[in-house]
Structure 1
Amino acid sequence: MSINKDSSKKSNLLKKILAHPLYPGIIQWPVLLLFAYIIFVLAFGPILAHDNFGTAMTWVLWWPVLPLLFILFGRLWCGICPFATLSDVVQKFVGLNKPVPKFLKKYGIWIIDAVFILITWSDHVFGIVENPRGSAFLLMLIVVGVVFSGAFFERRTWCRYLCFLGGLSGNYSRSGALELRATPEKCAACKSASCYHGNEKAPGCPMFEFPRTMDTNAKCNLCGYCVKTCPNDSITVKTRIPTKELWGIKKPVFEESFLAIVIMGIVFVQNITMLSIWQPLLQTLERITGTTNYFVTFTITFIIAMGLPILALFLSSFLSNLSTREGIAKNFARFGYGLIPLDLAAHLAHNLFHLLAEGKSIFFTFMGLFGVEYHASAAIFSNSTILTLQYLLLFLGTAGSALTICKIGKSHHHKGVVPHLIFVLLLALINVYLFSLPMAMRM
């Protein structure tokens, strides 16, 4: 009983926060100003990443913390994101509010997949993360896309259909411990649809969601507009078991499962290129290809690291389909969601290294803005402690994926879960091996 009461109190508090007139603006504007300053420092501050406050804030703090926010609060970040705030401002003053093009609705997720892959590839080929000017250029490219989208299209078209981070957060938030839903009984008699269209209290849903029929966290950014506009107090905000949403997705989408396995490939790439084995591997590739051109050798590595997990998921879907007889693509789409918990865990484990092994660089570079220099270690914890935490995350992610796959199979009376369970175990073992090797630092 006490657990239920505590959960209810937390839910009521969260709902009160979302309903408050100052939310989300009270967080949006400071975040926007901070990001504007970060871009300025990246563009005009110290040229070395080790000394640049913008690099530390972007790649040592913001990027590593994001996956943790997704699992705790769903897409809350998207509600206060500076790019989304900029889109709202542009739209308010010069927006044409044109309908979203049909091709974006149909192919937006593929654009997100492609952009995510391209950015990861570009980072390693052109050294974006290790180069403050490159980081500034990347963020300004996003600003250009946001301004263009806000000027022409309605609501947050960029966030819903084009933002690669939105695609990532959409997948991860399905594993989140927080959900916002409408109460069907209260919505049945409602004729205003204020939650979607908005009213004098707040705008309509910026993410094109209709809370009355919403059954997923994937697109909800917890902006609180529907809580403010609902005339019947229908909206509930409550905690739930992480991964629960993944257990019974009614309409699995192939592209979303494809993104899940793409993210795993990206984590492999990020890990491999930071390991002590990377240089020997690179030299082997140079001997095989007969070229020392990094563009060529890394691209080959990238294609292999991205392609093998995709092919392996198709193989496990093929074997699973021998029992389910629903079609390989449909099996891929349905069980691909089971990879998301392990995706999230591997991503968190990788980013944890940057946060905990380089975390003090945030303070060091901040003090550097005032001419104070530090030459101490940037590590917050020892490598052995970080590795233990990484293994724990991988264990939880593996258990979450295994549970999800079993629940998916049970909800659809499928017997073909074993190939997917074996695949998840294989991915987990590969990640354990990669994390066991010494990693290089960014800062």
Structure 2
Amino acid sequence: MNNLLQFSSLKRFIQSRWYPGLFQWAAMLVFAVIVVELVAGTVNPSRNFGTSMTWVLWWPAIPVLFLVLGRFWCAVCPFGKLSDLVRKAVGAERPMPRFLKKYGIWFIDFFFILITWSDHIWGIVESPRGSGYLLLLLTTMVVGTSVFYERRTFCKTLCFLGGLAGNYSRSGMLALRGTPEICKGCKTQSCYRGNEKAEGCPMFEFVKTMDNSADCNLCGNCVKSCPNDSVRIFLRKPTSELWGIGKPRMEHAFLAAVIMGIVFVQNITMLEIWQQILGVIGKVTGTANYNVNFTVAFICSMLIPIGLLWLAARLTAGSSQPKDAVMKNFIRFGYAIIPLDLAGHLAHNLFHAFTEGKAVWFNTTGLFGYPMSGDLAFASTGVVQLLQYLVVVLGLAGSVYAVYRIGGRASWRKLLPYYALMLLLAAINIYLFSLPMMHRV
């Protein structure tokens, strides 16, 4: 594994005060403009700079950023920088509450599901005001948390994007670790505690024992503070972390399955047959209320991959296995869904990026007094569909290989239920992407 910090210019930049501050302040400036435009700009989502920057550019780019750069976005995120500023100015620096330490990932899972559900109930994406108020609500949560608690407690345990970032970054190509031989003799623990050169890890990570990238923001604090030059930043094979996780956790496996279900429902609600589907659900529920029927569809979409993963785990847990074998299989092989999650998320948002992408340029020029209009598409629907199919196939390859490695390179017959699961999830995605979709923004 090559250490990118062997490049002296890169190492000096990361150790300087310009990193990640240069990116953070740029992101803060853009974020401020976005919030103002969302709250006070036009209510037409296709003409609003904030809407196009958030949902047409940023949201489709997020899975790519996590795959290529790990959680680098979290290092420059405006919410994270705001948390640091508030904490340094008026923070009480109290320890993170025990219940957040224990259940923080579940809170993140819950908030991610809640925000996705809320989008369809209150039309957050289609409403600049709704998007703006959501960002202001998150800002309030960040400020409130930072006033009372140490480091980035909000980012670690409450940020709705945290679970997504953690799961996706496990498949990422960029990772930060310590050098075991050097860390073993370290007495200072500067990477965690901090020193005069930099604060301790904002995400409560200890480089010496860190074996995954789920919570590493690549903020560079440990690179600045380590007195032994132990920290390495290196490139690795995508998805390689998924089959070497020391302590698999239910929260991560659960979220991996849930994300797949959310990708399904995001696609289904954009299909021309969505109203017919609502009609069928309405016959079962006995009401035409959209909120009720969408909630039923939303829950069912999440339960489908959860149930399928549980079935695969049950089929591979023979009668001679321990009683908790099904649960262990569910958790271990749940991580194998993550590459398909990434692919489904990216493929879905390719539709927005390539068929609405020019809105980013048009609305940006409009901010400077040069309004432009015209066809928003960069590519035809047919081209976008081909790209979507390709992305899903690549995600399928990543998930299938992850199953193979998690299973200890066992025979294909032993792992057949998991291979079948990945093929089925990929097939469902490809089928949904083959159907005509409507724009939401």
After TM superposition, is the score higher than 0.5?
yes
Are 1:410 and 2:408 matched, yes or no? yes
Are 1:152 and 2:148 matched, yes or no? yes
Percent of pairs identical after alignment? 55
Change beyond 3 A, Cα 1:159–1:11: farther
d(CA) in 1 for partners of 2:271 and 2:238? Answer: 31
DSSP 3-state at the match of 1:113 = helix
DSSP 3-state at the match of 2:317 = helix
Counterpart of 1:47, as a letter, is: V
Counterpart of 2:438, as a letter, is: A
Q: Among 196, 200, 222, which residue is 1:200 paired with?
A: 196
Counterpart of 1:193, as a letter, is: Q
- Bigger shift: 285-294 or 118-127? 285-294
Deviations 1:68-116 (A, max 9, x none): 0000010000001000000000100110111111111111111111111
Change beyond 3 A, Cα 1:21–1:121: same
Are 1:379 and 2:377 matched, yes or no? yes
Change beyond 3 A, Cα 1:414–1:189: farther
Counterpart of 1:275, as a letter, is: L
d(CA) in 1 for partners of 2:26 and 2:57? Answer: 17
Q: CA deviation at 1:373?
A: 3.8
Q: CA deviation at 1:287?
A: 3.6
Q: CA deviation at 1:351?
A: 1.1
Q: Among 107, 110, 124, which residue is 1:114 paired with?
A: 110
Deviations 1:247-306 (A, max 9, x none): 121111011100100110111111000111212212222344332211111111111111
1:314 corresponding residue in structure 2: 310
Q: CA deviation at 1:336?
A: 0.4
CA contact (8 A) 2:211 2:246 kept: no
Are 1:39 and 2:42 matched, yes or no? no
d(CA) in 1 for partners of 2:57 and 2:421? Answer: 32
Q: CA deviation at 1:390?
A: 0.9
Are 1:286 and 2:298 matched, yes or no? no
- Bigger shift: 288-297 or 303-312? 288-297
Are 1:259 and 2:255 matched, yes or no? yes
Are 1:359 and 2:335 matched, yes or no? no
d(CA) in 1 for partners of 2:295 and 2:259? Answer: 17
Change beyond 3 A, Cα 1:15–1:440: farther
1:435 corresponding residue in structure 2: 433
Mapping of residues 41-440 of structure 1, within 5 Å: 41-322=37-318, 325-326=321-322, 327-410=325-408, 416-440=414-438
d(CA) in 2 for partners of 1:289 and 1:198? Answer: 56
Counterpart of 1:61, as a letter, is: L
Aligned Cα root-mean-square deviation (Å) = 1.8
Q: CA deviation at 1:389?
A: 1.1
- What are structure 2's unaligned runs of at least 5 residues? none
Q: CA deviation at 1:363?
A: 1.1
2:17 corresponding residue in structure 1: 21
d(CA) in 2 for partners of 1:8 and 1:250? Answer: 23
d(CA) in 2 for partners of 1:199 and 1:55? Answer: 41
Change beyond 3 A, Cα 1:16–1:390: farther
DSSP 3-state at the match of 2:118 = helix
Q: CA deviation at 1:120?
A: 0.8
- Bigger shift: 150-159 or 289-298? 289-298
CA contact (8 A) 1:357 1:383 kept: yes
Deviations 1:355-391 (A, max 9, x none): 1111100111122334544331111112122111111
Counterpart of 1:181, as a letter, is: R
DSSP 3-state at the match of 1:238 = strand
Change beyond 3 A, Cα 1:393–1:218: same
d(CA) in 1 for partners of 2:417 and 2:52? Answer: 41
CA contact (8 A) 2:4 2:232 kept: no
CA contact (8 A) 2:51 2:131 kept: yes
d(CA) in 2 for partners of 1:76 and 1:284? Answer: 44
Change beyond 3 A, Cα 1:37–1:186: same
Q: CA deviation at 1:21?
A: 2.6
Counterpart of 2:346, as a letter, is: L
CA contact (8 A) 1:322 1:416 kept: no
d(CA) in 2 for partners of 1:433 and 1:124? Answer: 22
**Aligned residue pairs: how many?**
438
Deviations 1:164-197 (A, max 9, x none): 1011100000000011110011112211111111
d(CA) in 2 for partners of 1:105 and 1:333? Answer: 20
CA contact (8 A) 2:45 2:127 kept: yes
d(CA) in 2 for partners of 1:314 and 1:281? Answer: 26
d(CA) in 1 for partners of 2:203 and 2:255? Answer: 20
Counterpart of 1:144, as a letter, is: T
d(CA) in 2 for partners of 1:390 and 1:413? Answer: 31
CA contact (8 A) 1:74 1:176 kept: yes
CA contact (8 A) 2:79 2:139 kept: yes
CA contact (8 A) 1:323 1:414 kept: no
d(CA) in 2 for partners of 1:323 and 1:252? Answer: 23
- Bigger shift: 408-417 or 242-251? 408-417
d(CA) in 1 for partners of 2:344 and 2:121? Answer: 23
Q: CA deviation at 1:162?
A: 1.0
DSSP 3-state at the match of 1:202 = coil
